Structure 1
Amino acid sequence: MSLALPVLVRGINNLSDARYCAGMGADGLIFTLDPTLPGAVDAATVKELAGWVAGVELIGEFGNVPSPEINRLVAECGLTSVLLRLDRSRQTLPEGLAVPALVEVPPAVITDQHYFTAAIADLSTALPQGFAFFTSLPSTEPLDTAYWYGLTRQAAIWVGGLHTPAEAQRLAQFVRPTGLILEGGDEIKPGLRDFTELEAVFEVLEEV
């Protein structure tokens, strides 16, 4: 399936999600490998689920985890990149990462030009392997497509926190970010999963 934008799916913790998202054209699957974060899985689970899918990148999500441990899991799980949460639990970025990073930041960092410019400079120094931003859309105001288009021309930005499939469609048509990050979910029971929300987004991205 050809999608209008690259798509990553976050919070993968079951085979149903892994196979469905890979089959629908997702470019990558994000596994929470930091045991202090909600929904974390272990390396054995990542390797087991990865054995059932092909053609997708494997990405690990981390909070306040030292670089050597991140790099160990990168090697063990065959990760192509990592997602780093930049929040109160991590005041400084890890250095010496073996792979590129997606760095999750609040919308305020992206939309404040001063902070955005400083963040680009800081990340360029700290993450020589490469980086991109990941942020969620503000939930309190309509999507200003022209404004966000300008932001996505300054740096690689992945967008999450979509509220409706129509929002994904507008992003694909008018903003053209680097890609979208969708949220996975839990199985109702082994082998049974409701994909209604994910399916609606994949469908509009196929139609754009």
Structure 2
Amino acid sequence: MQLKTKVKVGNITNLSDARYCAGMGVDFLGFPIGDMDGQIPFDMFSEIVGWVSGPAFVLEYSDTLDEAVFQKVTGPNAIHHIELDLGQLHQLGEKAQGLPIILKANMAAWPTIEPLLPTYDIRYLALGENQLVDWKTVEAINKKVNVLVPYHLIEGDEIEKLPITGIILEGSSEDKPGQKDYGQLATALEALEAN
């Protein structure tokens, strides 16, 4: 299936979401890997991605991620990108150099982010805005780094006219293993299907 734009679905914690999104043509699957509530252990991540092909896998980094798990996740044949915020990027420092990064930030942080582009492999900027944004500013930023915006900021069919690289959606938990209501996720992905 072909979508009108790049799509990252985050908060993937179950095989149902991962397979559904892969089947719908999503480009990135984000996994909150760790031992905290709302996260999945590395072994579960490995099991899920063993059943899925197509999308790139993203580590949704957490400050609580154990160093040994971080090394496994960022090793060969695990994730393709790491998603983190500015504070986490500075905290990781040299460990983040050479890793393909999806940086979570608001547009107001752009003056701080732009000087980091030569040092870090920031491939995408995932905007954290909760309300309408200045699309001219987004367009200027998108010329320097690929911009992903939350789907709720986009109205109807305007996706193809916007100066962005893609959108961000979120997965959710299952009712029971294999039993899931895709609701908003299904509605959004169906609206993004290319004709």
TM-score by length of 2: 0.84
How many residue pairs get aligned? The number is 193
Is residue 146–residue 174 contact of structure 1 (8 Å, CA) maintained in 2? Answer: no
Looking at structure 1, the residues matched to 93 and 67 of structure 2 have their Cα atoms a distance apart, in angstroms, of 5
Q: CA deviation at 1:26?
A: 0.4
Q: Which residue of 2 aligns with 1:156?
A: 146
In structure 2, runs of 5+ residues without a counterpart are: none
Q: CA deviation at 1:22?
A: 0.4
Q: How does 1:1-208 map to 2 (within 5 A)?
A: 1-36=1-36, 38-64=37-63, 70-75=70-75, 78-87=78-87, 92-97=91-96, 98-109=98-109, 116-125=110-119, 127=120, 129-139=121-131, 142-160=132-150, 162-163=151-152, 167=155, 169-170=157-158, 172-207=159-194
Aligned identity (percent) is 28
Looking at structure 1, the residues matched to 59 and 148 of structure 2 have their Cα atoms a distance apart, in angstroms, of 16
Q: 1:52 to 1:168 in 2, by over 3 A?
A: farther
Is residue 107–residue 138 contact of structure 1 (8 Å, CA) maintained in 2? Answer: no
Q: CA deviation at 1:7?
A: 0.8
Looking at structure 2, the residues matched to 57 and 178 of structure 1 have their Cα atoms a distance apart, in angstroms, of 15
Q: 1:96 to 1:117 in 2, by over 3 A?
A: same
Q: 1:168 to 1:149 in 2, by over 3 A?
A: farther
Counterpart of 1:27, as a letter, is D
**Secondary structure of the corresponding residue to residue 163 of structure 1:** helix
Q: Which residue of 2 aligns with 1:112?
A: none
1:34-88 C-alpha deviation (Å, 9 max, x unpaired): 445x52111101111111111121111113358886343222661111111334x
Q: 1:147 to 1:131 in 2, by over 3 A?
A: closer
Looking at structure 1, the residues matched to 111 and 187 of structure 2 have their Cα atoms a distance apart, in angstroms, of 35
Compute the RMSD of aligned alpha carbons. 2.6
Q: CA deviation at 1:156?
A: 1.8
Is residue 10–residue 171 contact of structure 2 (8 Å, CA) maintained in 1? Answer: yes
Q: CA deviation at 1:90?
A: 6.5
Q: 1:93 to 1:123 in 2, by over 3 A?
A: farther
Looking at structure 1, the residues matched to 91 and 185 of structure 2 have their Cα atoms a distance apart, in angstroms, of 33
Q: 1:150 to 1:40 in 2, by over 3 A?
A: same
Counterpart of 1:72, as a letter, is K
Counterpart of 2:161, as a letter, is F
Q: 1:104 to 1:66 in 2, by over 3 A?
A: farther
Counterpart of 1:44, as a letter, is D
Q: 1:82 to 1:133 in 2, by over 3 A?
A: same
TM-score by length of 1: 0.79
**Secondary structure of the corresponding residue to residue 152 of structure 2:** coil
Counterpart of 2:191, as a letter, is V
